[in-house]
Chains A and B, each alone.
Chain A
């Protein structure tokens, strides 16, 4: 149940970037090669966010399928299950290119602003 610890880090990152503003959505990317259970992470997130500026925010989790580039023939394969094999030549000499992601991509926040001062915060 390390999702609780991971959720803690997600909330910390979101709160730091929000800098006092109310967070409404947290967009997260999680690769399939991570052993993160989305439902457990979502549950933990709601729990850990309580009492912070992230409380009540929705966690939007995008799963990233695993992929790898074959070091022998150069083909990039989507990797659905173990063993991880090149779909062109069948070799296991792969450089993982996707599927190990675990990062906060962006936040959606509420900001109180004067009418004319809509500053895109990018």
Chain B
């Protein structure tokens, strides 16, 4: 007996296992006729605030369910509880001190608690993070990114992965524009540099700017 080095060709995608689970989620969503939005942003860009407006505006018209992803706490889910909409909180802190993103398996674990057949639109509010969530498909139909103008103009160039994968960008906190040195034209040029022509809506959760347009996009795109 002796030891020999052998080489084995593998050619397996690192995220294949995740993608297979995402596809399984997708089939469940299709079966229940759900339109699924993966909502992503940095922490504090206004995902939950925009979601509050969205639920408020569509109450009684569109049945929206929410899957809240956070490293810890149920604070976001608590904020949305007053809408009496199906909501489930998934905390990611079971791993090494908390994953920075939702993956397909975490979303799957939350689905058991959602009445998918009584939902038209499922919004998956991802963990606030500008990098990691973009790598992990969860079974969504579209990716909607919330971007706060307080984050500066250059982020599309610094964090291209998420901007490239977005189907729509909600440019939020527009009410703060007069108080900031934010060059909207420059930001839009940077956005087009990484994702040419991507849909964009100027919004403010403080004043309600753009909420109608966003809700219209959601209902038209989701065909609900």
- A-side residues, CB < 8 A to B, are 1-2, 4-6, 9-10, 12-14, 17-18, 21, 24, 28, 33-35, 82-84, 92, 102-115, 118-122
Contact = CB atoms under 8 A, between A and B. Distances in A.
Interface in B73-93: none
A21 B8 CA distance: 11
Contacts of A12: 17
A18 B196 CA distance: 43
B31 interface: no
Contacts of A104: 10-12, 14
Given A17-B10, A35-B159, A110 B134 contact: no
A9 B18 contact: yes
Chain B interface extent, by class: 35 or more
Contacts of B196: 83, 92
B141 interface: no
A6 B7 contact: no
Q: Which 4 A-B pairs rank lowest in CB-CB distance, beginning with the nearest? A: A2-B132, A83-B193, A35-B161, A104-B10
A122 B2 contact: no
B14 A103 contact: yes
Most chain A CB within 10 A, of B2, B12, B13, B99, is at B12
Contacts of B11: 103-106
Main secondary structure of the interface of A (DSSP, over half): mixed
A102 B11 CA distance: 10
B14 A13 contact: yes
Nearest to A81: B157
Most chain B CB within 10 A, of A9, A28, A102, A121, is at A9
A108 B101 contact: no
B15 to A, nearest CB: 6
Given A5-B101, A110-B4, A114-B1, A83 B10 contact: no
B4 A113 contact: yes
B94 interface: no
Contacts of A113: 1-4
Contacts of B13: 102-103
A13 B132 contact: no
Nearest to A19: B8
Given A6-B135, A35-B159, A13 B10 contact: yes
Given A12-B17, A83-B194, A113-B2, A1 B100 contact: yes
